[in-house]
Structure 1
Amino acid sequence: MSATLLDGVLLLAIVGAVSGLARRVGLLAPILLVMVGIIMSYLPFVPAFHLEPELVLGGILPLLLYAAAIQTSVPAFRRNLRPIGLLAFGHVLFITLVVGLAVHALVPGIPLAAAFALGAIVSPPDAVAATSIARRIGLPRKTVTILEGESLVNDATALVTLRVAVAATVGAALSWDAALRELAIAAIGGVLIGWVVGWLAAWLHRRTDDALIDNTVSILTPFLAFVPAERFGASGVVAVVVCGMYVGHRRPLLMGPASRLQMDAFWRVTQFLLEGFVFLLVGLQMRGIVDRLSYAWPMVLVVSAAVVGVVVVGRFVWVFPGVYLPRLLPRVRAREPQPSPANVAVVSWAGMRGVVSLAAAFSLPFTFPGRDLLVWVTFVVILVTLVGQGFTLPWFARWLRVSRDDPQADALAEAEVRQAAFRAAQRRLEEEAAKVGAPSYVVERLNALAENRANEAWERLGNPDREPPSEAFRRLRLAMLEAERQEFIDARDRGILPDEVRNRVELEQDLEEMMLSRRRRRDDE
């Protein structure tokens, strides 16, 4: 095993251990991983881990974006398209402009175009940090949708803006028309390529019932969207997001249950490991960035504080007018309910930056004006927003008394749809049973099974002080499964049952137990 591979395995082991510790002590894993990475960077026996921009932007980012995109609700994304667009495009360009002007004013030796490059680097909230923290602290579904939608698209705006700023800095000056044209090509090209690859992936999924093939297609899909888009000058980020949302929205009709279960498990593990890896990697850059810094510390601290202030305050300055000013128009006011100031403040505070910003900073040419300073300031912005804002976001939401989604409303909606689904299932059962002449007792058993499942949702709306029959059924059936499993293990150990048979039965038991356990966890939430 090579040293590089061994280092990677050790990092993943640290991710697992630190994430497990974070859950046990009630901390947010991304914040703890960054802090552990910073400490590790100063330990003498820990090798230097250099963040490779190509690995992050071309290897890790497509996987994380695709994993998030296939889980994104397309109807919810459409309903919140205006606020998402104001954040993913308007906010990024606004922060780019303000940060660039501030840095150029403080350090005149850095050209304005180079200062705008820093603004583009630190402008997009991270695609992982905001939504992972927002979901874990239970923010309202609409707020999470807006943050998730922003983080899926804003990287494209920032990276294309960075490309324009770098070109202007190194002498390839672009007119405003050319810059806007490049942005348009990146966006439209990314949408078209993402749609084509999404359609192709859906076509492949629809024509196979092999779970392994489905997962192989799923792993390759984000790269099949990202690489051609980048090669043709479009936005690979937009292509991956569009492709993922296209496939995710149609997934229930594209593949069988075995493929969906296996794919969900794969992407959960992938997200867990890659998210933890990138947060740990951010912290591990601390020592190397400090060692390469060649500017005087007083000036460095002033610039760092100014940029952090602009990034944090600038988000409030953009978000509040962006939310309330359009509601002066009667059409917008009639179509969208007015959000509470508490929810708007939480969206403003949830502006954590992450590894994409750091990878973008490292991608600057080594001869780029003020490169060491720009990389350092980027790291400080990430550290302050991720640790400071991420750590205080749960407290901030509680202090503002941000209202959560009403579980009773969710249960009522589920119960009504389950009842409609039960009636549809009854009609289909009658039709199919009449065609094949099914025995009456089979029809009655299937009808009772569907009715019991429909009634479970109504039970959750009933008396909370009494154990619902469905919960008693789950509790007793789980105990029965445990006894059945032990009997099969004993039979295997006595040599009267082959392991192949026991493995097949174990799969059936595991699927049933997983379904019962997931229902119980959902009811406890």
Structure 2
Amino acid sequence: MAFFESMLTLLLVAIVFLQFSRKFRIPYPTMLAIAGIIVAAVPWAPEVAIDPQLALALLIAPVLFDAAYDLPPRTLRRNWLPLFSLAAIAVVLTTAAVATVGVTMAGLPLAAAVALGAIVAPPDAAAATAMLDRFDLPRQTYVILKGESLLNDAVALLIFSAAVAAAASPAFFTGALAELALAVPGGLILGYLLGRLYMVVGLKLAGTLGGTLLEFVATFGTWIIAERLHLSAILAIVVYAMVIARYMPERQTARHRIHSYSVWEAAVFLLNVLAFLLMGLQVRQIVLDLDPGRLNYAITLAAAVFVTVIGVRLAWVLLYNRVITFLAERGYTRQAVPTFATSLLAGWCGMRGLVTLATALALPIDFPDRDIILLSALAVVLGTLIVQGLTLGPLIRVLKFEPDTSLDRNLTRARVALIDAALAELADGEDKSTRILRDVYTSEREITADGKHPREVSSLDKQRRSVIAAKRRKLAAMRRADEIDDDVFHMLEQELDWAELAVLPPGRDEIVES
């Protein structure tokens, strides 16, 4: 009961703090971090432990699914070099640098030091995008930072799993590495198969509360099945989410999709709250149990890890900027060359969050120097969220980015194409209502071509529904043909969803219990 009361208290504090986040443009994970520490510090806070395997499944699986759903494979192909630079090289360099600090400064065993490095290596996209959404930034920078969040999580978690296995098994480099070689392709195949299976079962339950619950059961089930088969649960979730994101939106109803997206957003936010509370409670107990000498020693290590994490990312991103500029000037690469300002921004978007907390909580109870690793992980999360989170907005204003209108242009072009599809749907009708609706869409096309988005209002609901269906077919075809990016697709998909709901008869297409 005490834990439940602490959870409710944190939710209440988080709700209050989020008002400050919205007003002062502070990333909401920063406010959650502060709220979590406040609640964990109260005298009556309970001592709570969570099973390490449960921490990974409960906290990581939904976050990976959410990130993978928004990152189509073509975005990976199109931006492979900067994504590889941030998600693979930066994570490996950060892990190696932090491990070096842990071994030389604190005398940690190598496996424990590598685990610490993997825990603090991946930045949290939610913290960055919560701030970046409020500014007019180069679209490419925004896409890369969101794409990085998925890949760096996967890379860091794979390193973490290997480090934990190495600490537990002296024969790691013979047996565990061979198992890992099978786990990676096996996880990819399993994720694809379960994604296709969900396409069959999920469609039969679409529009029901059971269908919404199945989304969570299937996501957690994918993780658990992969774990039971000794396959990579991380890669299984990533592929599973990508399969669903590629095919499912075209087959869902508008109400079901809106309902599903809302539920997932709330669930991921609640998991953030839970992670900060659990981490705060565990660290509180560690601080109370440590003797002053070891506590000072742990704080010194945490500060060194914090500085290392920030410094390595910033140095690598700026070095990448110089190298890619050098190669582009000599014609060795066709990759887009980022400006110094965008590289500086990307280097400073290194706030850590849910994945770092969840991975730290997933350390086995008997893991070497677990208490020091947890303290260091929390210090990095709090430090980056407060220092970088609170200075990201001022930095963006100082850098003065040129407005990027490419998203607006792509939206306008796609909207015109959808209206053309609507007019084609109405071309053969000559009755009065069809002529009226055709005139409405002709006017709408003129307004949209000027870059404005008219509100769709009409009493001719039946014709509008058929027109919206035609627009959906056109939108899906444009996505399949790679004529529009997925961010444009999802924005227009949402517009069509709300337009469809506005013209449905009362009580039609509701979310039902069964």
| TM-score when normalising by structure 2 | 0.79
The equivalences for 1:202-281 within 5 A come to: 202-207=199-204, 210-281=207-278
Tell me how far apart the structure 2 counterparts of residues 86 and 191 of structure 1 sit (CA, whole Å).
22
Matched residue, 2:358: 359
Deviations 1:103-122 (CA, angstroms, capped at 9, x unpaired)? 211133x2223222211222
The answer to whether 1:121 aligns with 2:119 is yes
Checking the alignment, whether the CA contact within 8 Å between 2:120 and 2:380 is kept in structure 1 is yes
Mapping of 1:486-525 within 5 angstroms? 511-512=501-502
Alpha-carbon offset, residue 58 of structure 1: 0.8
Residue number in structure 1 paired with 2:92: 93
The 10-residue stretch of structure 1 (75-84 or 389-398) with the greater mean CA deviation from structure 2 = 75-84
The whole-number CA distance in structure 2 between the counterparts of 1:36 and 1:339 is 36
Instruction: Name the counterpart of 2:306.
Output: 308
Conserved 8 A contact 2:287-2:295? no
Please tell me whether residue 190 in structure 1 is matched to residue 180 in structure 2. Answer: no
Greater relative CO (CA pairs within 8 A, separation 6+): 2
Q: Corresponding residue for 1:38? A: 37
Structure 1 regions of 5+ residues with no counterpart?
A: 434-438, 462-467, 475-507, 515-525
Q: Distance in 2 between matches of 1:509 and 1:156?
A: 37
Tell whether the 8 Å contact from 2:26 to 2:131 is kept in structure 1 after alignment: no
Whole-Å separation in 1 of the counterparts to 2:138 and 2:369: 41
Give the SS at the match of 1:402: coil
**Aligned AA for 1:201?**
Y
1:71-220 mapped onto 2 (5 Å cutoff)? 71-108=70-107, 110-126=108-124, 128-137=126-135, 139-175=137-173, 184-207=181-204, 210-220=207-217
Deviations 1:207-246 (A, max 9, x none): 4553434423322231132112222223222222222222
Contact kept in structure 1, 2:36 and 2:273, CA below 8 Å: no
* Distance in 1 between residues matched to 2:206 and 2:358, nearest whole Å: 39
CA separation in 1, counterparts of 2:168 and 2:138? 45
Tell me what 2:448 maps to: 457
Closer, same or farther: CA 196–347 of 1 in aligned 2, 3 Å: same
**C-alpha contact (below 8 Å) 2:103/2:113 kept by paired residues:** yes
Structure 1 range deviating more: 28-37 or 75-84: 75-84
Q: Deviations over 1:171-221 (max 9, x none)?
A: 42433x877655544433332222212222223344455343442332223
Deviation per residue, 1:73-110 (Å, 9 max, x gap): 554343223322222222222222221122211133x2
Instruction: Tell me, in whole angstroms, the C-alpha distance in 1 between the residues paired with 2:440 and 2:334.
Output: 41
How far 1:30 moved relative to its partner?
Answer: 1.5
Query: Does residue 290 of the first structure (1) align with residue 292 of the second (2)?
Result: no
**Aligned equivalents of 1:372 and 1:208: distance in 2?**
45
Q: CA distance change for structure 1 residues 179 and 147 in 2, over 3 Å: closer, same or farther?
A: farther
Q: How far apart are 1:312 and its partner, in Å? A: 1.0
Q: RMSD of aligned C-alpha atoms?
A: 3.2
How many angstroms does 1:308 deviate by? 1.6
Contact between 1:130 and 1:350, CA under 8 Å: does it hold in 2? yes
Matches within 5 A, 1:422-441: 422-430=419-427, 433=429, 439-441=430-432
Q: Give the counterpart letter for 1:122 in structure 2.
A: V
Q: Classify 1:364/1:449 alpha carbon distance in 2 versus 1 (closer, same or farther; 3 Å).
A: same
Equivalent residues of 2:276, 2:357 under 8 A apart: no
Cα distance in 2, alignment partners of residues 163 and 367 from structure 1: 15
Q: Per the alignment, do residues 401 and 48 of structure 1 end up closer, same or farther by CA in structure 2, a change over 3 Å counting? A: farther
CA distance change for structure 1 residues 155 and 44 in 2, over 3 Å: closer, same or farther?
same
Cα contact 1:57–1:356 (8 A) shared by 2 = no
Check whether the contact 1:293–1:373 (CA below 8 A) recurs between aligned residues.
Answer: no
- CA-to-partner distance for each residue in 1:344-366, whole Å, 9 max, x for gaps? 11111111222332333333344
CA contact (8 A) 2:2 2:46 kept: no
Question: CA separation of 1:166/1:146 partners in 2, compared to 1, >3 Å: closer, same or farther?
Answer: same
Q: Residues 151 and 187 of structure 1: is their aligned pair in 2 closer, same or farther, counting only changes over 3 Å?
A: farther
Q: Is the 8 A contact 2:62 2:219 kept in 1?
A: yes
Q: 1:456 to 1:199 in 2, by over 3 A?
A: farther
Q: Is the deviation greater in 161-170 or in 31-40?
A: 161-170
2-side partners of 1:325 and 1:415: how far apart? Answer: 36
Write the letter of the residue equivalent to 1:225. Answer: T
Deviation of 1:139 after TM superposition, in Å, equals 4.1
Note closer, same or farther for the CA distance 1:350–1:51 as it changes in structure 2 (3 Å cut).
farther
Equivalent AA in structure 2 for residue 382 of structure 1: V
Contact 1:316 1:345 in 2 (8 A): yes
Q: How does 1:365-380 map to 2 (within 5 A)?
A: 365-380=364-379
Mapped partners of 2:284, 2:413: distance in 1? 57
Q: Residue 471 of structure 2 aligns with which residue?
A: none
Contact 1:126 1:354 in 2 (8 A): yes
Letter in 2 for 1:396: L
Partner of 2:336: 337
- Tell me, yes or no, if the aligned pair for 1:123 and 1:311 is still in contact at 8 Å: yes
> Does the Cα contact within 8 Å between 2:254 and 2:501 map onto a contact in 1?
no
| In structure 2, C-alpha distance between the alignment counterparts of 1:280 and 1:371, rounded to whole Å | 18
Q: For residue 12 of structure 1, what is the aligned residue in structure 2?
A: 11
Q: Secondary structure at the match of 2:60?
A: helix
How far apart, CA to CA, are the structure 2 residues paired with 1:5 and 1:399? Answer: 44
Give the letter aligned to residue 375 of structure 1: L
Aligned partner of 2:379: which letter?
Answer: V
In 1, Cα distance between equivalents of 2:161 and 2:389: 29
**Secondary structure in structure 2 of the residue aligned to 1:128:** helix
User: Cα gap change, 1:137/1:190 in structure 2, threshold over 3 Å: closer, same or farther?
Assistant: farther
- Aligned residue pairs, count: 462
Query: Take 1:370 and 1:310, find their aligned partners in 2: how far apart are those partners?
Result: 19
User: Residue 522 of structure 1 corresponds to which residue in structure 2?
Assistant: none
Name which of structure 1's ranges 370-379 and 278-287 shifts more when overlaid on structure 2: 278-287
Letter in 1 for 2:270: L
CA distance in 2, matches of 1:455, 1:271: 40
CA contact (8 A) 1:101 1:115 kept: yes
